């Protein structure tokens, strides 16, 4: 691929200027090469400004409004919910629950829907490529209910082996909970097909969209997913806020998860009546400013264009595979680039993944190393750790060249030892 002659789906440098942190020097004045976007992304000035503006001009607690400022704060908070609802094409804002992130969203479903619906011997179908956030809440549910956890296996090239689905979906399967995009392999899973097959078998589906919502168009109605979870901080929003989307009928039938203020219609000394959606699942003071910041991030995402982001990251990923693939010691995990999002996890012959990350850091290049909260997946791959470069639309082909050069340098350092 001759990257200099390709017409790129978007021009990263025109957006980079909005991200103050991307132009700050790190380590002895070197430019920052930020390739840890699967862990968390950076924020443009517009999001930071929305946060500052809220605190400086519009901040009060929400939904308690007798006063003017509280009304303003509530309007901004509910505007953000509306933006998110449109962004994912929910049927109504009542289907959008603010959580602290993907982790809390999945825990909410496991606790509330799980405890109400799962009985001994019922089956929950997961996959071998899940983040711990989509494993441990189900382990905990298993401890409470003695249900059975099953897993869709992965193929040698890191895709879900859907040939197994007919036998794994049984009349005991109540829920299928799957990641849309693997945070390690980058694999984009055929969620709509899995939803259709799960529904035909009488099971509902939760989609972990932590790694997909920030990078490509997400239409919950088109997927026909029953629950969808994602995090604000992976899509340029603040940390501390995330979303659980749920079909209204399911959410209405579920008991509240946490108890406290805001989630009630009426409280007596000996009992309570829950509020309507979405308040029923938002006990206590919510993440007010983070939610407003997430609304600003969504405005920004829509300006850039989700399809363009997806298409551009596709080019970057292909370029990364080609460029890094010329290094004989480099081995990427997961499928071919056409089948994955902008995540390139890899091992290097003769250098531990943590050492790789440390040597890259000397060049100002930020990547993650370790098991990326996916220990069972690494075990399946026969390794304990990997290094991971993950992209966003503000990354450039030149940064991938820098990564390749730094990896060559790391090999030279190790050979000298």
Query: Which residues bind to ligand 7TS, rule: CB under 6 A?
Result: 38-39, 101-103, 131, 133-134, 179, 183, 208, 210-211, 231, 368, 372-373
CB of residue 95 to ligand 7TS, shortest distance in Å: 20
In whole angstroms, how far apart are CA 239 and each of 66, 161, 288? 29, 34, 12
Nearest to 169 by CA among 139, 127, 131, 132: 127
| Minimum CB distance to ligand 7TS smaller for 102 or for 387 | 102
Q: Which positions ≥6 away from 196 have C-beta within 8 Å? A: 224
Q: What share of the chain is helix, strand, coil (3-state, %, to 5)?
A: 45, 20, 35
CB of residue 319 to ligand 7TS, shortest distance in Å: 22
SS3 category, 343: strand
Provide φ and ψ at 331, rounded to 5°: -130, 120
**Tokens 């000298």, residue located:** 416
Burial 6-31 (b: 16+ CB within 10 A, else e): eeebbebeebbebbeebeeebeeeeb
Q: Which two tokens stand for residue 410?
A: 């790391």
| Minimum CB distance to ligand 7TS smaller for 41 or for 183 | 183
Measured CA to CA, the distance from residue 110 to residue 137 in angstroms comes to 6
| Minimum CB distance to ligand 7TS smaller for 85 or for 127 | 127
Could you check whether the bond before residue 278 is cis, i.e. omega within 30 degrees of 0?
A: yes
CB of residue 209 to ligand 7TS, shortest distance in Å: 8
**Strands 204-208, 30-31: parallel, antiparallel or unpaired by DSSP?**
unpaired
Contact 342, 317 (CB under 8 A): yes
Measured CA to CA, the distance from residue 280 to residue 367 in angstroms comes to 39
**Tokens 């790190």, residue located:** 26
| Minimum CB distance to ligand 7TS smaller for 85 or for 183 | 183
| Minimum CB distance to ligand 7TS smaller for 74 or for 211 | 211
Q: What angle do CA 96, 97, 101 make, to 5 degrees?
A: 115
Angle between helices 45-53 and 288-304 (to 10 degrees): 150
Active site residue 373: yes
CB of residue 104 to ligand 7TS, shortest distance in Å: 7
| Minimum CB distance to ligand 7TS smaller for 353 or for 397 | 353
CB of residue 177 to ligand 7TS, shortest distance in Å: 11
CB of residue 188 to ligand 7TS, shortest distance in Å: 12
CB of residue 169 to ligand 7TS, shortest distance in Å: 22
| Minimum CB distance to ligand 7TS smaller for 85 or for 179 | 179
In whole angstroms, how far apart are CA 168 and each of 143, 150, 370, 380? 21, 7, 30, 19
**Strands 242-246, 227-231: parallel, antiparallel or unpaired by DSSP?**
antiparallel
Stretch (H or E) spanning 7: none
| Minimum CB distance to ligand 7TS smaller for 112 or for 179 | 179
User: Of 165, 192, 201, 373, which residue is the catalytic one?
Assistant: 373
**Strands 242-246, 96-99: parallel, antiparallel or unpaired by DSSP?**
antiparallel
SS3 category, 117: helix
CB of residue 352 to ligand 7TS, shortest distance in Å: 19
Q: Which residues are catalytic?
A: 373
């Amino acid at each position: 691929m001759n990257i200099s002659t390709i017409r790129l789906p978007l021009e990263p440098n025109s957006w980079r200027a909005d991200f103050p942190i991307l132009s700050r020097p790190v380590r002895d004045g070197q430019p920052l090469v930020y390739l840890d976007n699967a862990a968390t992304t950076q924020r443009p000035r517009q999001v930071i400004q929305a946060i500052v503006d809220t605190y400086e001009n519009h901040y009060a607690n929400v939904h308690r409004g007798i006063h003017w400022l509280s009304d303003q704060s509530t309007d901004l908070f509910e505007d953000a919910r509306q933006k998110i609802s449109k962004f994912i094409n929910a049927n109504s804002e009542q289907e959008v629950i603010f959580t602290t992130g993907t982790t809390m969203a999945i825990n909410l479903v496991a606790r509330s829907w799980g405890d109400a619906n799962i009985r001994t011997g019922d089956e929950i179908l997961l996959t071998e490529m899940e983040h711990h956030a989509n494993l441990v809440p189900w382990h905990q549910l298993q401890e409470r209910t003695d249900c059975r956890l099953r897993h869709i296996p992965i193929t040698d090239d890191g895709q879900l082996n859907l040939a197994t689905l007919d036998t794994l979906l049984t009349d005991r399967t109540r829920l299928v909970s799957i990641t849309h995009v693997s945070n390690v392999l980058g694999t984009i899973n055929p969620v709509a097909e899995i939803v259709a097959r799960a529904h035909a078998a009488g099971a509902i589906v939760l989609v972990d969209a932590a790694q997909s919502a920030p990078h490509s168009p997400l239409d919950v109605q088109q997927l026909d997913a029953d629950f969808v979870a994602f995090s604000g901080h992976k899509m340029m929003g603040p940390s501390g806020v995330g979303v659980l989307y749920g079909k209204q009928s399911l959410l209405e039938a579920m008991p509240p998860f946490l108890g406290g203020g805001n989630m009630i219609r009426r409280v007596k000394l000996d009992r309570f009546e829950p509020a309507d959606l979405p308040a029923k699942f938002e006990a206590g003071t919510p993440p007010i400013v983070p939610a407003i910041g997430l609304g600003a991030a969504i405005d920004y995402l829509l300006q850039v264009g989700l399809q363009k982001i997806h298409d551009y990251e596709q080019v970057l990923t292909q370029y990364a595979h080609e460029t890094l693939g010329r290094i004989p010691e480099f081995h990427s995990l997961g499928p071919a680039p056409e089948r994955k999002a902008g995540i390139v996890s890899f091992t290097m012959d003769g250098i531990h993944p943590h050492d790789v990350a440390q040597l890259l850091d000397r060049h100002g290049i930020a990547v993650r190393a370790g098991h990326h909260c996916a220990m069972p997946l690494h075990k399946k791959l026969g390794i304990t750790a990997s290094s991971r470069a993950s992209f966003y639309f503000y990354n450039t082909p030149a940064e991938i060249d820098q990564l390749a050069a730094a990896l060559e340098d790391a090999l030279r350092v190790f050979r000298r030892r």
